[in-house]
Structure 1
């Protein structure tokens, strides 16, 4: 009898302790999961509708920590200029593309725009800040690449061309960052481009069965240049002085920058040394 009483007491004690523990099928809150939840832009659930633009922008800025110089002009004129579902070369998945234009800021913050690529459930793939964007088809019957045109407030810039690689964006155009080749030039120092953003052309230049890309236009000399490379603003001949400018250029020379598709890396690489060819 005494033994039975001891067993009953032990059983009740064990049962009481067990009730204080977490059941095996119940998970404790995880900090990492909570942080992950806070970085999801849940407004994509209403795509393509934006019910409240002000809240949409506020949530976008807060969740993805977008740095914006706030001012009355910025507040009045900020807007969403693109909100679309897209496919990008390298993946069969759909993505959400958003462009947020916050209108005005310091010169260092130019071009005052953000482009964001999200998964369809609102997770960030990449944040970009280009002057403009375009979805371009390079390989027929395939999804387009995402092209971003970057530029400083002075007017120097180039292109970035992205594909999806392992659920991230990969820049496959090596011109601007690897070769320091500008494809956008509106900076009125010695030369500019015409057009300022060189025109993109898609063609199989080396006949290997894969399309390549090129950037085409003219280098406009808005100052004169001697054979030794010295720059000058004006010159006098037969008593007549000629001053050079954008409207009265010294000369124009055609430019074609060809980047060939490398099958091994999937990148577009410079066909030749353009710095030497065009004295860029």
Structure 2
């Protein structure tokens, strides 16, 4: 097995040379060290890590032909506070200055209204989180999905009061028939707790668990170029989130 070089053996110039070769990778070990050193990536090594480059590809982002390199460095394990134990770095080919560094559970390409986006899934170690819809503006990455942690989670696999039976399905359709495509999340939530008429919460017996459908629709606003929640989903589904 080849001996892995350490950070002291790779200079800043070496880092730049390695990164400028992307998306071609000639030495994965050196690339990992270059990424960690160049971009000061914090890695929790207490649990023993297994470093990989799990993604390295060209992606289009935005309305024009904007081709970027998306590279994902994954170190597999760590404390829950450090989850998801991976980083995604986005930059123009031939440029070592990233336009974005994120730490998402997953990230995938999606196209709506003739614009190409990256749909990112943010999640805590417990499995609660949300989605972001990323595009490029003024040479930086912005989120255009009107959703934050004060809203209903679109990621929920942690069985406290309940959880989504499966990850929400994601579809693109003109939901309000205005000629623009909208983003729809749909699924079911299994409830493990109930509430009394006075608002007190209690654990349900297993035989009392029940499932409720959920749908989150984000309507495209052409003026702001954002996807806005069709209604107040916290008020709509408050009884499902105790």
Q: Considering the TM-score relative to the shorter chain, is it more than 0.5?
A: yes
User: Is contact 1:220-1:249 (8 Å) kept?
Assistant: no
Greater CA radius of gyration, 1 or 2? 1
Change (3 A) 1:54 1:71: farther
User: Paired residue for 1:131, among 89, 102, 105?
Assistant: 105
SS at match of 1:86: strand
Partner deviation per Cα, 1:44-91 (whole Å, 9 max, x = no partner): 4323331111110001011111111125721xx110000011111234
Q: Point out where structure 1 has 5 or more consecutive residues left out of the alignment.
A: 1-36, 235-242
Partner-residue secondary structure (3-state), 1:69: coil
Distance 1:190 1:45, change over 3 A: same
- Residue in 2 that maps onto 1:66: 41
Aligned to 1:42: 17
Shift of 1:253: 0.9
Tell me, what secondary structure is at the counterpart of 1:276? helix
Q: State the secondary structure of the residue aligned to 2:37.
A: helix
Where does the alignment leave 5 or more consecutive residues of structure 2 unmatched? Answer: 1-11
Give distance in 2, aligned partners of 1:256 and 1:65.
Answer: 39
Q: Is the 8 A contact 1:78 1:100 kept in 2?
A: yes
Per-residue CA shift, 1:2-28, capped at 9, x if unaligned? xxxxxxxxxxxxxxxxxxxxxxxxxxx
What SS class does the counterpart of residue 144 from structure 1 fall into? strand
CA, structure 1 residues 206+111, in 2 after alignment: closer, same or farther (shift >3 Å)?
Answer: same
More helix by percentage: 1
| Pairwise CA distance, 1:155 | 1.4
| 1:200 alignment counterpart | 170
Checking the alignment, whether the CA contact within 8 Å between 2:135 and 2:141 is kept in structure 1 is yes
Shift of 1:136: 1.0
| Number of the residue aligned with 2:32 | 57
**Would you say the 8 A contact 1:199–1:216 is kept in 2?**
yes
Q: What's 1:187 paired with?
A: 158
State how many pairs are aligned.
Answer: 227
- Stretch deviating more after TM superposition (88-97 or 107-116): 88-97
Structure 2 partner of 1:169: 141
Name the CA distance, whole Å, in 2 between partners of 1:169 and 1:222.
38
Q: Which residue of 2 aligns with 1:150?
A: 122
TM-score with structure 1 setting the length = 0.75
Deviation at 1:124, TM superposition (A): 0.5
* C-alpha distance 50-106 of structure 1, shift in aligned 2 (>3 A): same
- Per-residue CA distance 1:149-191 (angstroms, 9 max, x = gap): 00111111000110111111110001225x5221000121111
> What value does the CA root-mean-square deviation take over the aligned residues?
2.1
Cα distance in 2 between the residues matched to 1:108 and 1:91: 37
Q: Structure 1 residues 220 and 48 mapped into 2: Cα distance closer, same or farther (>3 Å)?
A: same
SS in 2 for 1:170: strand
